[in-house]
Amino acid sequence: KNQVEQSPQSLIILEGKNCTLQCNYTVSPFSNLRWYKQDTGRGPVSLTIMTFSENTKSNGRYTATLDADTKQSSLHITASQLSDSASYICVVSAPTGNQFYFGTGTSLTVIP
Amino acid sequence: DAEITQSPRHKITETGRQVTLACHQTWNHNNMFWYRQDLGHGLRLIHYSYGVHDTNKGEVSDGYSVSRSNTEDLPLTLESAASSQTSVYFCASSENTLANNEQFFGPGTRLTVL
């Protein structure tokens, strides 16, 4: 069964600290993996996209990694800011049409 | 700037009522999607459309319907609202059927069925 699992479910960190969010998936075949950020009361917004041939991709203080062999991805946030408080959702897509598989998200809270 | 909007943002209705949630995008995207988001389940696909007059069922389509009469709009109708349909609903659009295309999400509609 195609699944996407994220950990931890929630995380609280101090402002300025780094953190890493995990995403494990069983989707096969695999086309790409996206990380979305969802602020409270808003729709998700794409942070990064990675295809199976990419290992690392950065977007400012956000760095995503992908190991297609072990079907694992991580999102590393450097020097966290209060505005990083949000839910982070991992989405894996298959190569055909509308096959998007969503994780349940990690809720990140950054405290001063 | 192009955008995707949803209305209403909040809706309270009673069991058995018909409810329609609007979704409008100005990206001129062919693909449009409806999801519901509940605690512990993440985003689940209700219906999707690849173009005008095309509609398809997602994994949780029972009790919902959509119609696509133009490129910009994909209204979601709850035929007879049930308390189990209390949720936050998100509409999304994307450019074409390629799996690596980004989905752009609307701000969501919070629906409460009493």
B7-26, pLDDT tens digit by residue? Answer: 999 999 999 999 999 999 99
Best probe of the B interface among A66, A99, A101, A102, by most B CBs < 10 A, is A102
Q: Are B16 and B80 in contact (CB under 8 A)?
A: yes
Residue A33's pLDDT band, with cuts at 50, 70 and 90, is very high
Structure confidence by residue, pLDDT tens digits, B20-72:
999 999 989 999 999 999 988 889 999 999 999 999 999 999 999 999 999 99
Q: Tell me what pLDDT residue A52 has.
A: 81
Of the candidates B4, B41, B48, which has its C-beta nearest A104's C-beta? B41
Give, in order, the Cα–Cα distances in Å from B103 to each of B1, B32, B106: 16, 9, 10
Looking at residue B99, its pLDDT comes to: 56
pLDDT band at B98 (very low <50, low <70, confident <90, very high): low
Q: State both tokens at B38.
A: 């509940």
For residue A98, is pLDDT > 90?
no
Q: Cis omega (within 30 of 0) on the bond before A44?
A: no
More confident residue, B1 or A86: A86
Instruction: Please report where in the chains the tokens 């075949």 appear, as a residue.
Output: A29
Instruction: Give the minimum alpha-carbon distance from B36 to chain A in angstroms, rounded to a whole number.
Output: 11
Residue B11 confidence (pLDDT): 97
- Which three-class secondary structure state does DSSP give residue A56? strand
Average of per-residue pLDDT across B105-112: 97
For residues A35 and A90, the answer to whether their CB atoms sit within 8 Å is yes
The mean pLDDT of A37-62, rounded to a whole number, is: 92
Residue B41's CB is within 10 A of a number of other CB atoms, namely 12
Which pLDDT score, from 0 to 100, does residue A53 have?
Answer: 86
Reply yes or no on whether the pLDDT at A97 is more than 70.
no
Rounded to whole angstroms, how far apart are CA atoms B37 and A38?
12
pLDDT in tens, A56-76: 999 999 999 999 999 999 999
Nearest to B74, CA basis, from B26, B21, B35: B21
Q: Is the dihedral of CA B107, B48, B113, B81 positive or negative?
A: positive
**B92-106 mean pLDDT:** 81
Inter-chain residue contact A32 with B100, CB threshold 8 Å: yes
Tally of residues, chain B: 114
Q: A9 pLDDT band (50/70/90 cuts)?
A: very high
Chains A, B: CB contacts within 8 A come to 54
Task: Output the pLDDT for position A2.
Answer: 84
Q: What pLDDT does A94 receive?
A: 82
